[in-house]
Structures are given as C-alpha cells and as structure tokens.
Amino acid sequence: MGCVLLQVARPAPAAAHNYLVSSTPSDGAVLDTAPSEVTLEFNGPVGQKFATVVVAGADGTTFQSGAPRVVGGTVTQRLRPIAEAGTYRVAWRVVSSDGHPISGTFEFRLRTGDATAGDGTPSPESATSPSGTVSAPSTAPSGATSARQAAERRSDGAGAGWLLAGGAAVAVLAAGAVVVVRRRSGTRDV
C-alpha cells in the first residue's frame, strides 16, 4: 500500500507544463510610450478558455480592454490608453496544454505619461532588446535563472498539494475497505 501511495503522491514532472518564453513589454522594461497591448509567448499552445491578463497601475486601476486573444502559444491583451508614468504590473493566468492552470506576474515601467497608447517601444536605457521582448535563454551562466525556471517558480504550484491530499484520501479509503472486508469475513466464520 505504501508503494501505491508513493506512486500516486509523487509530483508530476514540471516539464509537462507550458511556460512563458517572452513578453512584450518584457519584465522590467522601461518604456517611453505606453503599450497598446501586452503579448505573452509560451513554449507551446495554451487553452483558449479561461485565459486572463490584468494590467494594473500602482493605484489598482486596470487597463485591459476586452478579453485576451489566444492563438496557439500567443496570448494578446489589448489595453486602454495609459496616461500616467509609473510602474505597471501584469498578472496572467492560462491553462497549460496539459490541462493545468499556470500563472505569473511581471512589471514594466512607463517613464512619461501619454494620453494615447503607443507601440510599447522600450527606451534606450532598457536592458531588453529593441522590440522589448525577452528571448528564451540559450545557455545561462551558473546562478542565473532561465525563463523556464522563473515561470515554474511563479506558476501555480497547488497541484502537488492536491495530489498529496488525493493520495492520502485513497490510502484512507483502501484501509477502510480492508477493515470492512476483514470484519465481514470474520462474521461468516463464526
């Protein structure tokens, strides 16, 4: 019974989950003009249902316009005009191709206010590429965090807890079944 419990309670490999490869704007980007949309690129297709992207300012005001558009592994969220300089947090949640929800957050900073949404081009001081995207890491130096590791760290990790709880429930039910069978067979022999 212990072997069965260990097989059930063993966490599934994280490689099965999709992960965020890049975003526009990228995490930590400093922009001169407000983006008109946020684009998330995943390593594979994600579910079209239940995709959520929220872009919020420091005061809690949100700027998304309509529902996100999902095409394969690309999720695009249109934005209302962002008029004030400041830091904006992007929180996303999608359903991975293996059926598990994954989520994460990142931030970008708008250097100057803009009454109309721009194209999201980062400033020259930004540490990102000119398009504002972060590519998947090739070989990261030791101690550096890859995009996949960061996505797994930020992903919803509740699945392992539910798996352990389910395994414990199965073990309790199995033990109860053994007790019932023994009692019934004991009353027949009398």
Per-residue pLDDT of 2-55, as tens digits, reads 555 555 555 545 456 899 999 999 999 999 999 999 999 999 999 989 999 999
Sign of CA dihedral 149, 79, 130, 71: positive
Per-residue pLDDT of 104-127, as tens digits, reads 999 999 998 654 444 444 434 333
Q: What integer best gives the mean pLDDT of the chain?
A: 72
pTM of the model: 0.55
CATH entry, 15-136+145-156, from 1.10.645.10, 3.40.640.10, 2.60.40.1220, 2.60.40.10:
2.60.40.1220
Tell me what percent of the residues of the chain surpass a pLDDT of 90.
46
Per-residue pLDDT of 134-178, as tens digits, reads 333 333 333 333 444 444 444 444 444 444 444 555 555 666 666
Q: Are strands 30-31 and 101-110 parallel, antiparallel or unpaired?
A: parallel
